[in-house]
Amino acid sequence: MAHPYFLVLAYAGAAFHGWQVQSAHRSVQGELWSAIRKLWIDAPMPQGAGRTDAGVHAKEQGVLLWTQKRWDAYRLLAALNAHLSPDVRVRAVQEAPYGFFPRHHAVAKRYVYRLDEGPSANPFLESRRWHLYGAAPIDREAMLNAASGLIGTHDFSTFRCKECSAPTPVRTIFDIRLESMGTEFNLVFEGDRFLMHQVRIMTGTLIEIGRGKIKSERVSEMLNSKNRKLAGPTAPPEGLYLEKIWYSPEWGIGEAIPSTLGA
């Protein structure tokens, strides 16, 4: 009988071709599967709460895996980490109830896009933030004003890539906020679910607004058009982090959902 466990997994995405297992490229799912198979050769493939693109990082990816025997949580964490490379780590382990599935029972997610600006990039932030070169600062107030138009339930066809296979483009954004730290700043996105490349396209669009290349009042027009060509470019992957996931409370997994998320 297989025993289900829920893991909180963190990884630096620079050397991975995304979460999903691939035959010819290194993936987070593939690496974790290899580690669990060191403990149980017939272990099923671990399942994540969602996919991340190549180069995207995660601080709290939720993962369900199964073991052949019951483990003490700390011993399982240590055993898995002993077989993982330093750029991916199990951060927490708990037994999971039968029937729980992270992808199906996630009700809210937080993504953070980390940026830095100025005439010179910080070499210690390479592959960790998107550096925006320029002598003039980005208009962060204009970005925030535009972001308010993205909050709510909308058809986000304009902000998804053509390869996105989601059955519906309708998503709910609970909040978008900007956290400033001198030349560094973060865009925080909280929503029920996100489409493929949605956060990166929204970030690229907001940056173009901050640079004065797109007017902030055009966000409503973009949404209504359902036309990807009207939005800004897709931001590069290195600044994006899957920061937090909340699950349906009846499963007893993770932290309680903040009331601000409307879930």
Q: Has 53 been annotated as catalytic?
A: yes
Q: For residues 195 and 69, give the distance between their C-alpha atoms in angstroms, rounded to a whole number.
A: 37
Spatial CB neighbours of 173, under 8 Å, sequence gap ≥ 6: 150, 151, 152, 154, 189, 190, 191
If you search the block for the tokens 């996919």, which residue do you land on? 51
Let me know if 178 is exposed, middle or buried by CB neighbors in 10 A (0-12, 13-18, 19+).
middle
SS3 195: coil
Instruction: Write down the catalytic residue from 53, 72, 116, 155.
Output: 53
Nearest to 110 by CA among 6, 240, 233, 248: 240
Q: For residues 67 and 32, give the distance between their C-alpha atoms in angstroms, rounded to a whole number.
A: 13
Q: For residues 193 and 170, give the distance between their C-alpha atoms in angstroms, rounded to a whole number.
A: 9
For the annotated catalytic residues, the residue numbers are 53
